[in-house]
Structure formats: C-alpha cells, structure tokens
C-alpha cells in the first residue's frame, strides 16, 4: 500500500493479537499494552533509498507488538493518520522528511483507544563518498568525461534523468545523453520528482556547457564580470515544460514579467500558464535544487528561459543588479 506523505507504508500482517468475537470486546476483555519493537528509540536512519516517485527516502523496518485483545492498530506520524496494521504487525516505512519524526501507534477496541505508543527517530541525509555515489543513489546511468575546460567533474548522463525526459529546445527528439558537471546531474535528478509532481513529462533546454565569460566579455579565465556557470557545466537554461496532456508551458511566451518591486515568488500572477510557471520554478528553488535562479524578471537576455545554476555561496531567485551585465547576463 503506498500513501503519499511523510511516511509511506507497506504492511505485512503477522497474525495474532487481534480481537475475536463480541464477548472479547466487552469490558472484561482485559488490559492491552502496545510497544514498538523496531526501530529502536532514537534510531538514526539515512535517506538513501530511491522511492518509485523519484524522491530519496529512508527505508525503515517497523514492528509493533500488542499484548491483549484489540480490533485494530492505527499508525501515524506526527498528527497524520497513515493506516491500520494488524496486532504484532510488521511494515516497511519510507520516511521522506528530514529531522526527528514521531511515530505513533494506537490500539482500538470497541471504538475506543485502549493503548498507545510513540517512538522518535531521526531521518538524515546520506553521506555518499563523492558526487558519483549520489548519482548511483538516484539510479542514474552515466560515464565519466569527456574532459573539457572548466569542468571539474565531467559526466555524460544517459537520459531520462531519474525518469525525466530532456530535449534540446530546437530538436524534435529527446536527448540520448547529456554532458555536464556531476553536481548538475545530481540537481537534475533532484528536480525530476518535483517536476513530475507538477505533471511534467519533458523539459526543453537551451543548453548546459559553454566555456565563456558572463556577458561574453573576455575569454576564460580572464573575465571582467566573472566566469559563466555554463563554463563549469554547472548551469542549465530551461526553456519549456510539457505536461502529460500535451500542454507546453513556454517561458518566452507564457511568463508574465513581474513589477520591479515584487518578489518573484510572492508577486501576483496571471491565471493559467504564468501562474503555473511561477509555481514550478519557485517550488524548485524552495527545495534547494538550485543556488541561483534567473527568470525573465532579471533582464531581456533571460526572456526566453530560466537560468539555474550552482554558484557556490549564492542563494537567490531573480536578483536585479546595479550594473549592466551585457546581453547575456550569466
């Protein structure tokens, strides 16, 4: 059974402990005790398994033991009811949210709670040895290289990336492979389930790798305004998104530029495609998939795409600068 939320359960009944006939459910049915057998209290579990929807989760084996006669056992996390398990039942839980999580179990008899138990455990990020190990967690197929100027950890990824199809904007067929820095491949793997949650089935891009300076002024590494993240293969320009019903959301024609003094993710939007585009790019930024997001709000050079990248030490979406960065401002 798959339940979308903080905890996803697959229940496997172990038998025993559940209520019998009506005479067992009365006031003389006896006391009930309920305990978590596993995991141990305070357990720390890493989010190192890939769920069917593409998110990383912690697979946690949970067992609840009941002593006494009950009708059902309700399972919860926080204040969210997740489902029912048999007495002494076992389950595999996919925990998605980071931090301390409180599992709850309630034994129900005759419509009343007759016993309760809680357990706290902590969900943490995994600690792979390197970026390639992150790609392995996401199940990506890739090869190292080829070597190109500016790219620290080059990889060529086979698409789809974590189930997401990518296509160069002017091509009629999806990309078969995609060259980039490993860190960008990890970000695209993280973005995929968020895009899929918004019904996206294909992303059209304007490219990743281009060894150049910001604004095309100078030649790397001698760049007056800095080296473009495209030179490191750590940036990608997203031009359009297609959903399962064939609808295409195009940044150039569907994004309505926000007033100068309005923050991109809180500004009023036009109903329909403009609101959808704002919602998707802001959800991706809020999830920490990208360090920098430049939208059409940024300058005229970005009217037809979202530029997203992994600039170290930066964290913003659409930032107007007091200087003119030229015709291509990233």
What does the block give as tokens for 315? 């964290």
CB-based contacts of 46: which residues, under 8 Å, 6+ apart?
58, 123, 124, 125, 126, 127
**Tokens 């600068």 label which residue?**
321
The pLDDT score that the predictor gives to residue 319 is 65
Based on the fold, state whether residues 170 and 261 are members of the same structural domain: yes
The pLDDT score that the predictor gives to residue 87 is 56
Based on the fold, state whether residues 196 and 221 are members of the same structural domain: yes
Based on the fold, state whether residues 173 and 115 are members of the same structural domain: no
**178 conformational bin, left if phi > 0, alpha if psi -120 to 50, beta if neither:** beta
Neighbours of 216 (CB within 10 A): 14
User: Per-residue DSSP letters for 226-280?
Assistant: -B-GGGGT-EEEEEEEEETTS-EEEHHHHPPPPPTTS-TTTS---TTHHHHHHHH
Is 54 within 8 Å of 62 (Cβ atoms)?
no
Instruction: Write down which residue in 87, 109, 124 finishes a domain.
Output: 124
Domain harbouring 49, CATH code: 2.60.40.10
Based on the fold, state whether residues 64 and 173 are members of the same structural domain: no
The pLDDT score that the predictor gives to residue 16 is 43
**Tokens 């798959």 label which residue?**
2
Find the domain containing 268 and state its range: 131-317
Q: Is 284 exposed, middle or buried (0-12, 13-18, 19+ CB in 10 A)?
A: buried
Domain harbouring 213, CATH code: 3.30.1380
Is 106 within 8 Å of 79 (Cβ atoms)?
no
The pLDDT score that the predictor gives to residue 17 is 52
Q: Consecutive sets of 10 residues in the chain, 330 residues long: mean pLDDT of each?
A: 36 43 57 94 97 96 90 84 73 90 94 96 97 98 97 98 98 98 98 98 98 90 93 98 98 94 92 98 97 94 96 85 41
The pLDDT score that the predictor gives to residue 6 is 37
Whether this prediction's pTM lies above 0.75 is answered by: yes
Based on the fold, state whether residues 174 and 52 are members of the same structural domain: no
The answer to whether residue 326 is domain-embedded is no
Q: Is 311 exposed, middle or buried (0-12, 13-18, 19+ CB in 10 A)?
A: middle
What does the block give as tokens for 63? 């067992």
Give the count of alpha carbons within 13 A of 134, CB side only.
17
**Tokens 């138990």 label which residue?**
117
What does the block give as tokens for 34? 């309920």
Total number of domains constituting the chain? 2
CA R_g for the chain: 25
Instruction: Write down which residue in 93, 124, 155 finishes a domain.
Output: 124
Distance CA 167, CA 303 (A): 19
**Residue 293 bridge partners (DSSP):** 308, 317
């Amino acid at each position: 059974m798959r339940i979308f939320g903080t905890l996803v359960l697959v229940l496997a009944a172990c038998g025993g402990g559940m209520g019998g006939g009506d005479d067992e459910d009365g006031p003389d049915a006896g006391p009930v005790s309920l305990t978590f057998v596993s995991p141990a209290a305070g357990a720390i579990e890493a989010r190192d398994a890939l769920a069917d929807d593409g998110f990383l989760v912690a697979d946690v084996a949970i067992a609840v033991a009941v002593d006494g006669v009950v009708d059902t056992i309700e399972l919860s996390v926080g204040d969210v009811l997740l489902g029912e398990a048999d007495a002494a039942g076992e389950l595999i839980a996919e925990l998605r949210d980071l931090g301390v999580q409180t599992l709850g179990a309630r034994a129900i008899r005759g419509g009343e709670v007759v016993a309760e138990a809680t357990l706290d455990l902590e969900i943490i990020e995994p600690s792979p040895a390197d970026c390639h190990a992150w790609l392995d967690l996401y199940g990506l197929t890739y090869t190292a290289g080829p070597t190109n100027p500016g790219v620290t950890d080059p990889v060529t990824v086979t698409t789809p990336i974590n189930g997401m199809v990518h296509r160069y904007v002017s091509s009629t067929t999806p990309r078969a492979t995609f060259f980039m820095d490993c860190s960008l491949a990890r970000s695209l793997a993280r973005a995929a389930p968020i895009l899929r949650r918004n019904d996206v089935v294909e992303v059209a891009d304007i490219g990743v790798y281009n060894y150049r300076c910001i604004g095309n002024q100078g030649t790397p590494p001698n760049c007056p305004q800095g080296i473009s993240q495209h030179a490191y293969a750590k940036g990608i320009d997203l031009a359009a998104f297609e959903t399962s019903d064939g609808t295409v959301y195009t940044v150039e024609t569907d994004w309505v530029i926000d007033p100068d003094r309005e923050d991109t993710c809180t500004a009023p939007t036009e109903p329909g495609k403009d609101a959808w585009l704002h919602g998707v790019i802001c959800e991706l930024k809020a999830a920490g998939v990208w360090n920098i997001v430049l939208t059409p709000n940024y300058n005229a050079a970005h009217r037809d795409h979202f530029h997203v990248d992994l600039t170290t030490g930066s964290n913003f979406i659409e930032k107007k600068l007091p200087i003119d960065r030229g015709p291509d401002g990233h």
